[in-house]
Structure 1
């Protein structure tokens, strides 16, 4: 993961499975805000979900673990997390 002077790291996470139409984005928003993660979540046209997340490395690791489980009624078949540059998000939002 790329790191800034503040110690924050950032990930782009792609989640495939039954992740649209099951409350995945809203559940991710609540989880991220509870963990004080900054970034965004959005549905993609291929029926996957993309998350950009910025936080301390340990918090991001916990976040990814929770995303692998997903909310009730969701099914995560694949999760790919790649490091990206920190963008400086100030909140966590649902986009698109």
Structure 2
């Protein structure tokens, strides 16, 4: 089990990117969260088996529709025990 924080830059706000991440996470069997940042980037925490995380990140990089990912900064963070789902958060939730 691994967990990463991923900061995503590009055209990722106002284009359905967070919901795309939620549905992709479900398909890839990973947990975590996604939220918009005030600087126009998106903050993702993703947790699961390494292979599933890699599949999730590959799909996120590809995007769909108007989504365009220009850069992803990925760093390992501590695993959150008992996390069961991937959720979309709003800035005030943090």
Q: TM-score normalised to the size of structure 1?
A: 0.88
Q: CA deviation at 1:35?
A: 1.3
Paired position in structure 2 for 1:68:
61
Residue 51 (structure 2) pairs with residue 84 (structure 1): no
Q: CA deviation at 1:73?
A: 0.4
Match of 1:29 among 22, 27, 43: 22
Match of 1:38 among 28, 31, 45: 31
Q: CA deviation at 1:66?
A: 1.0
Task: Find the residue that maps to 2:52 and give its secondary structure.
Answer: helix
Gaps spanning 5+ residues in structure 2: where? Answer: none
The size of the alignment, in residue pairs, is: 89
Do 1:23 and 1:71's aligned partners in 2 also have CA atoms closer than 8 Å? no
Match of 2:6 among 10, 13, 27: 13
Higher helix share: 2
> Once superposed, which parts of structure 1, at least 4 consecutive aligned residues long, lie more than 3 Å away?
none
